[in-house]
Amino acid sequence: MANSAGSRKRARQAENRRQHNASLRSMVRTYIKKIVKAIDAGDKAAAQAAFVAAQPQMDSSVNKGIFSKNKIARTKSRLNTKVKAMA
């Protein structure tokens, strides 16, 4: 357990940051799930709309250090390929 006042404050800040980051991570994952759900349903228009809505959120999460650049690039590429492949 933290003993000094400074380390107690650090522990509080770390916990607040952890919760905020978890919230952002969850939000991005939900955006991704919406795209996957639309693809599985076979609704290209909804999948495209969900993908367009999700892209800025995914890029923003990279800038905030929530996800790595390569993971988001890979995810966007795979989702975009699936959306484009829909008839």
- The CATH number of whichever domain residue 78 belongs to comes to 1.20.58.110
Query: What mean pLDDT comes out for the span 22-42?
Result: 97
Mean pLDDT over the full length of the chain: 96
pLDDT at 1: 75
Name the token pair of 64.
């905030």
Q: What's the pTM?
A: 0.89
Alpha helices in the chain (DSSP H): 5-41, 44-63, 69-85
Residue 2 is predicted with a pLDDT of 81
Number of structural domains (the chain) is 1
Q: Give the mean model confidence (pLDDT) for residues 4-28.
A: 97
List CB contacts of 21: < 8 A, sequence separation 6 or more. Answer: 64, 66
pLDDT (mean) for 65-70:
97
User: What is the per-residue pLDDT for 70?
Assistant: 98
| pLDDT confidence tier of residue 52, bands split at 50, 70 and 90 | very high
- Residue 52: which domain range? 5-85
